Amino acid sequence: MKVASWNVNSLNVRMPHLEQWLRAFAPDIVGLQETKLEDHKFPDSTLAALGYRSVFSGQKTYNGVAILSREAPRDVLVGVPGFEHEHRRAISATIGDLRVVNLYVVNGQDVGTDKYELKLAWLAAVRTWLEQEAREHPRLVVLGDFNIAPDERDVHDPAVWNETHILTSAAERAALRDLLALGLHDGYRLLHDEGGVFSWWDYRMAAFRRNLGLRIDLTLVSEALRGQVVAAGIDREPRTWERPSDHAPAWIELGA
DNA sequence: ATGGTGGCCACGCCA
């Protein structure tokens, strides 16, 4: 069972890449972020023809999340309970015996800005909500674009990406630790210790070619799933294709 | 220290 997370940066533009990648990688469950599509424009029939069910919550121009799955999704929840706003950044569903939460975490722009404060407030609301979600669903996967690099192995230049920088700041990393303290584990780090493996590269400065990236796309698993993570990685292939998303799919494989 | 690229949409906002 392969479970993946991919920030597609406009599904309208990236649909050919998504189709190609679904055929090649054959994931069972995928969380998408930055679909940037209103719900009436979501390509659910095209995805159904490829063998995937879709649930989605989108808006024009910004944000937008979806979960694709081979099996039918149940108990779909849109948004973060207790944090009402217009951004479409969260969608959850039960698929088989897994509860899947897909998050597009607020970027935060720069430390100290209003958007940064929004990010921290949003993450605090997510933590409060997931505490309940984890209690109700022992087999929980929380995946998405976290817009936080967990530690220095996850950034190409720790001197720049430090405790005062957006995506790596002390408060952001503390917020991520608070989520992990709910009994969640970074699936990739259960199996890999090395640094220099990234999921996002800026479009500018030939960052991908030079591997100037960050690992900010994560798949967290609950304690009950910890021993079932048999493989994990980031598929750099779609980032090499023409007109790519700036993110690559991050995935884990769950065994029996 | 600044600006580089990309998506959306039609000019600046967001990342």
A85 carries an active-site annotation:
no
Please give the structure tokens belonging to residue A156.
């190409």
The whole-number pLDDT of residue A239 equals 98
Asked whether residue A40, judged by its CB, lies under 7 Å from any atom of the DNA or RNA strand B, the reply is no
- The CA distances from residue A7 to A18, A30, A102, A210, in Å, are 11, 10, 11, 21
Number of structural domains (chain A) is 1
| Distance of alpha carbon A32 from alpha carbon A8, whole angstroms | 7
The whole-number pLDDT of residue A256 equals 77
The whole-number pLDDT of residue A54 equals 98
Q: Give the amino acid at A108.
A: G
Residue-wise pLDDT for A53-104, tens only, equals 999 999 999 999 999 999 999 999 999 999 999 999 999 999 999 999 999 9
Is residue A87 a contact partner of residue A62, using CB atoms and an 8 Å limit? yes
Residue A106, domain extent: 2-254
Q: Measured in angstroms, what separates residue A43's CA from nucleotide B15's C1'?
A: 24
Asked whether residue A209, judged by its CB, lies under 7 Å from any atom of the DNA or RNA strand B, the reply is no
A17 carries an active-site annotation:
no
Catalytic residue among A17, A52, A104, A154: A104
CATH number for the domain harbouring residue A149: 3.60.10.10
User: Is A194 assigned a ligand-binding role in the annotation?
Assistant: no
Asked whether residue A241, judged by its CB, lies under 7 Å from any atom of the DNA or RNA strand B, the reply is no
Catalytic residue among A17, A52, A116, A145: A145
- Tokens 């980032």 label which residue? A239
| Distance of alpha carbon A175 from alpha carbon A124, whole angstroms | 7
A62 carries an active-site annotation:
no
Mean pLDDT calculated for residue range A181-197: 98
Residue-wise pLDDT for A41-50, tens only, equals 999 999 999 9
Nearest-Å Rg of the Cα atoms of chain A is: 17
The separation between the first and the last C-alpha atoms of chain A, rounded to the nearest angstrom, is 9
**A155 pLDDT exceeds 80?**
yes
- Which nucleotide's C1' is closest to A7 (Cα)? B15
**A149 pLDDT exceeds 90?**
yes
Closest CA to A50 of A75, A19, A9: A19
Closest CA to A100 of A29, A25, A26: A29
Please give the structure tokens belonging to residue A55.
């649930």
**A225 pLDDT exceeds 80?**
yes
Asked whether residue A68, judged by its CB, lies under 7 Å from any atom of the DNA or RNA strand B, the reply is no
Global pTM value: 0.98
| Distance of alpha carbon A36 from alpha carbon A176, whole angstroms | 25
* Chain B footprint positions (protein CB, under 7 Å): 3-9, 14-15
Q: Taking the alpha carbons of A219, A221, A225, A229 in that order, is the dihedral positive or negative?
A: positive
Asked whether residue A160, judged by its CB, lies under 7 Å from any atom of the DNA or RNA strand B, the reply is no
The whole-number pLDDT of residue A194 equals 97
User: Is A147 assigned a ligand-binding role in the annotation?
Assistant: yes
Closest CA to A154 of A69, A101, A212: A212
The whole-number pLDDT of residue A2 equals 98
Q: In 3-state terms, chain A is what percent helix, strand and coil (to 5)?
A: 30, 30, 40
The whole-number pLDDT of residue A85 equals 92
Is residue A39 a contact partner of residue A64, using CB atoms and an 8 Å limit? no
Return all residues near A246 (Cβ < 8 A) that are at least 6 apart.
Answer: A7, A9, A200, A201, A202, A203, A239
**A136 pLDDT exceeds 90?**
yes
What percentage of chain A carries pLDDT values higher than 70?
100
Q: Give the amino acid at A7.
A: N
Q: How open is the CA angle A221-A223-A227, to the nearest 5 degrees?
A: 85
